[in-house]
Chains A and B, each alone.
Chain A
Amino acid sequence: MSRPRRERRSVVAVEAIGPYALVRVSRGSLDPGSPGQFFMVEAPGRVLPRAMSLCLAPRGELAFLLDPIGPGTRALAALERGDELHVFGPLGNGFRLDVERPLLVGGGIGIAPLPYLAEALEQPPAVIGFRTEHHAEAAVLLPNADVVIDPVLVTDAMPAGRDVLACGPEPMLEAVRAIAPDAQLAWEAPMACGYGACYGCVVEIDGELKRLCVEGPVLCSS
């Protein structure tokens, strides 16, 4: 596994994709890591960095997809080319890629790690769901995917008999694992450090508290 590093990187571009922002930074000596791993990305003017899974790894760059809904993500979306920020990673455990019949499932901003994952698995089938048509513009990042829009749910459109790799809001992950008990699920929690120091990012899974940054963020539910 590659060793995490913390470097000051510069912004190459910030692109709007529907309501989301794709923040592209120069890669420097950072290793992109494996799909599902994440980086702690400095949020300008804020005390804590933000945990972001890698969305794409274009040559010489790292790209993060974010939903600008809070002060940190809004500050990140407002960055301009040439701005500098600290990026620390890759961190955590990503998806296991030794699957026979992969199916990617994503909901909302939870599609963030799927484009990089799709690349590694040679563009497998995918089902992704969004709240609105506007949010669904992000489907451009995953050209192979079947797209559903609320009130249709990803679980309505998931074919059976697949090795599911999913990321999305907690209710979606719970629904996915109810029909695919062996699914690999990428969870999310507010995170302060990203490297196991603060014990802040625990989630309760089957009655057990797990530190997502070191035990996850991808956990196998069975």
Chain B
Amino acid sequence: MLLLNASGCLDALTAPDVANSFDVFVTKTVTPQPREGNAPVRIAETEFGMLNAIGLANPGRDVFIRQTLPRLASEIDRPIWVSVGGFTAREYAETCEQLAIDDVDCIELNLSCPNVDEAPESAAEIVRVCRAVTGKPLYAKVSPHAWDIGETVRAIEAAGADGLSLVNTLRGTTLDARLRPTLSRGTGGYSGPALRPVALAAVLAARRVTRLPIVGMGGVETGRHVLELVACGATHVALGTVLFADPDAPKRVRDELAEELATLGSDSVDHLFGVALDTVASGVNSSERLRVARRE
């Protein structure tokens, strides 16, 4: 199991130590043209999470490839996954083509940023055209909004993806004291603890239909949360919002995970891979479930 940062939640050039405390560093999303991002206000806190409307602020792929990537490669001694965004399938594919560079270990297609107007093509179509032009491992980052995640995942796999990142943020809105949206864009991506059950359900649904590797993410704050995603079928786990409150989270979460495993008498997280799926499928007896629920 690898521990990654969720794309958008870390800038390795301003915090290289934090990036190096992960197994893999995932960049913020790179788009064909430079983007300044949305006007402020860009973030808002809720009782159970936060909204962000950054708007894919990035220097554009030319500057990213010429300036950012070489600096990342020299400062980060971890594999680098590049998150790619665009507004048409062709834009995604052009960027993928230009990322045929040794420093790039994997490409994650951001198919679901809630803060920009989306590419009109389906997720699977974007994966298909990117697959045609790149030999790099290709992960598809999927929205939790899909009604039937299983169907989306099957189509993405058929289009040639090597893995899945589940989930991106949910679209949400908060209102200020004057009952106007807090964020200048009106809506933003909702992340943090509130997203955790959504992520677990999405990973379970995906794991039922695919054997592709899955990076599970959404509201992970502790070692126990990592374990839950793995139990639902995540191969790897990413940390996002928790990094804002705790830049030391990667080490802490790893320590907590080791403690959880010791308590369970297990020496590897891999032994618990997909166990939640087994019990859903086989139907653990209801009276046992009730007993556990009452105890909790």
Question: Which residues of B have CB within 8 Å of A42?
Answer: 245
A197 touching B248, Cβ below 8 Å: no
A200 touching B18, Cβ below 8 Å: no
Pick the residue among A189, A202, A214 that contacts B37 (CB under 8 A): A202
Closest to B41 in A: A190
> At the interface, yes or no: A68 with Cβ under 8 Å from chain B?
no
Question: Which residues of B have CB within 8 Å of A40?
Answer: 245
Interface residues of B in 245-295 (CB under 8 A from A): 245-248
A197 touching B52, Cβ below 8 Å: no
> At the interface, yes or no: B84 with Cβ under 8 Å from chain A?
no
Q: What does DSSP make chain B's interface, helix, strand, loop or mixed?
A: loop
Interface residues of A in 5-62 (CB under 8 A from B): 6, 40, 42, 46-49
Bound form: Cα–Cα A192–B8 in Å: 13
> At the interface, yes or no: A1 with Cβ under 8 Å from chain B?
no
Shortest distance in angstroms between A40's beta carbon and chain B's nearest beta carbon?
Answer: 8
A192 touching B50, Cβ below 8 Å: yes
Shortest distance in angstroms between A201's beta carbon and chain B's nearest beta carbon?
Answer: 8
Closest to B14 in A: A196
> At the interface, yes or no: B218 with Cβ under 8 Å from chain A?
no
> At the interface, yes or no: A153 with Cβ under 8 Å from chain B?
no
Bound form: Cα–Cα A192–B73 in Å: 27
- If A196-B15, A197-B18, A214-B14 touch, whether A47 touches B44 (CB-CB below 8 Å) is no
Shortest distance in angstroms between B63's beta carbon and chain A's nearest beta carbon?
Answer: 16
A209 touching B36, Cβ below 8 Å: yes
B14 touching A198, Cβ below 8 Å: no
Bound form: Cα–Cα A49–B193 in Å: 15
B246 touching A48, Cβ below 8 Å: no
Question: Which residues of A have CB within 8 Å of B36?
Answer: 209
Residues 192-222 of B, flagged 1 when their CB comes within 8 A of A and 0 if not, give: 1100000000000000000000000000000
> At the interface, yes or no: A72 with Cβ under 8 Å from chain B?
yes
Given contacts A47-B48, A88-B247, A197-B247, 9 further A-B pairs with CB under 8 A are A42-B245, A49-B244, A190-B41, A191-B43, A195-B15, A197-B18, A198-B244, A199-B42, A214-B14
Can you list 13 contacts pairing A with B, beta carbon distance less than 8 Å?
Answer: A6-B246, A6-B248, A46-B45, A47-B49, A47-B241, A190-B44, A190-B45, A197-B10, A197-B18, A202-B37, A202-B40, A204-B40, A214-B14
Residues on B close to A: CB < 8 A? 9-11, 14-15, 18, 28, 36-37, 39-50, 52, 54, 57, 192-193, 241, 243-248
Residues on A close to B: CB < 8 A? 6, 40, 42, 46-49, 71-72, 86, 88, 189-193, 195-204, 209, 214
Q: Lowest 3 A-B CB distances belong to which pairs?
A: A196-B14, A200-B43, A193-B244
